[in-house]
Structure 1
Amino acid sequence: MDDERWALLEKRLAALETRVADGSDPRDDDRFWALRELKRQAEGRSHVLFTGSLTLPTGAHHEWQETVEVSSMLQADPTQAVAVLSALAHPVRLQLLHKVLHGRHTVPELGEGLGTSGQLYHHLRQLVAEGWLATSGRGRYDVPAERVVPLVTLLATAGLR
């Protein structure tokens, strides 16, 4: 390696060590790194990317990434999303999902404070029908792994912080 390249490498390493030493994140200089990469890979087409890496209070870890081409999404019938979004548009159903993400999975655990068993099963059926919950045994419910990050993404876009 020539002296000029070596000096440049030493300078970059020193700058990185300085940022690490003072506790700052080296990526702060580039907060749009994901957008830049999406644009590079999209090659001029419009895309939306949602991605996440999270560990739930239960300790379960989930990672997910999905890219959607905007032109096909904008040409689709938007009413196709009504049932999926409507399943989330009730306070009891959001509470059920919250409970499952926090480790409560059985009907007795989920039903605490949420009304009658008939009402509970009504809400559970709607969440299962739209894929937000899955049954994993008799009377046990889980959020499917492929729905965890999209669910958290929807909550974030709704302003939940």
Structure 2
Amino acid sequence: MTDVEGKLAELEARIEALEGRPVIEDAARGFIEYRGTVDFGSEISWTIRYAASSVLNLPAAARVEALAALGHPVRQALIQALLDGPRTGAELAEAVGLTSTGQLYHHVRALTAPKIIEQHSRGAYRIPPAKVVPLLVLMTAAADLAEHLH
């Protein structure tokens, strides 16, 4: 093993320890990567890379839960409102035009279950910083899919 290979193996082990998932390299099938640097109240940088062949091995139940949670117009509006920063339940209800707290909390629960949003402080919600770039990527990918289908 060369010095560079040793350092690469060490870095991959550190990433696996930090993120809880192995770094899988399968150059034969290619890679899926997304990244971004955005400023929504504070600068957030994020890079994710998977071997293309390993994408289908990601937990299906978690993917389905997240996609289902995001697949409602009110929840998309809530996400867009929260991209501007934490908001209270009342502020969220007003931002998306909901008239009952029951409706709001139904949609908030759908987004908190897969940890897309979280309760930031008593009565206020936010998008965790590590979720901002993946959410924006997913919103962009969904728009790309819809555009190609029509």
Task: State the TM-score, normalized to the length of structure 2.
Answer: 0.70
8 A contact 2:86–2:127 mirrored in 1? no
- Indicate how the Cα distance of structure 1 residues 73 and 65 shifts in structure 2: closer, same or farther if over 3 A, else same: same
1:89 matches 2:71: yes
Counterpart CA distance in 1 for 2:79 and 2:124 is 13
**Deviation per residue, 1:28-55 (Å, 9 max, x gap):** xxxxxxxxxxxxxx57242211000011
> Distance in 1 between the 2:120 and 2:103 partners?
20
Cα deviation 1:10-40 (Å, max 9, x = unaligned): xxxxxxxxxxxxxxxxxxxxxxxxxxxxxxx
Task: Give the distance between the partners of 1:158 and 1:148, measured in 2 at CA.
Answer: 15
> Match for residue 117 of structure 1?
101
Provide closer, same or farther for how the CA distance between residues 128 and 80 of structure 1 changes in structure 2, counting only shifts above 3 A.
closer
Unmatched 5+ residue regions in structure 2?
1-24, 145-150
Structure 1 portions without partners, runs of 5+: 1-41
**Partners of 2:58 and 2:126 in 1: how far apart?**
30
State the AA in 1 paired with 2:51. Answer: E
Structure having the larger proportion of residues in strand = 2
Specify which of 98, 102, 125 is matched with residue 84 of structure 2. 102
Is it true that 1:149 corresponds to 2:133 in the alignment? Answer: yes
- Once the two structures are TM-superposed, the CA of residue 80 in structure 1 deviates from its matched residue by 4.5
* Counterpart for residue 123 of structure 2: 139
What is the aligned partner in structure 2 of residue 66 from structure 1?
48
- The answer (yes or no) to whether the contact 2:31–2:52 under 8 Å persists in 1 is yes
Q: CA–CA distance in 2 between the matches of 1:76 and 1:43? A: 15
Q: Please report how far the alpha carbon of residue 84 of structure 1 lies from its aligned counterpart in structure 2 after TM superposition.
A: 0.9
Tell me which stretches of 4 or more aligned residues in structure 1 moved more than 6 Å.
none
**Which amino acid in the other structure matches residue 105 of structure 1?**
R
**Whole-Å Cα distance in 1 between the matches of residues 60 and 26 of structure 2?**
26
3-state SS in 1 of match to 2:121: coil
2:32 paired with 1:54: no
Offset of residue 126 of structure 1:
1.0
Instruction: Indicate the SS of the match to 1:44.
Output: coil
Task: Tell me whether 61-70 or 119-128 shows the greater mean CA deviation.
Answer: 61-70
The residue type paired with residue 78 of structure 2 is L
**Equivalent-residue separation in structure 1 for 2:45 and 2:58 (angstroms):** 27
Task: Report the structure number with the largest CA radius of gyration.
Answer: 1
- The aligned counterpart of 1:11 is none
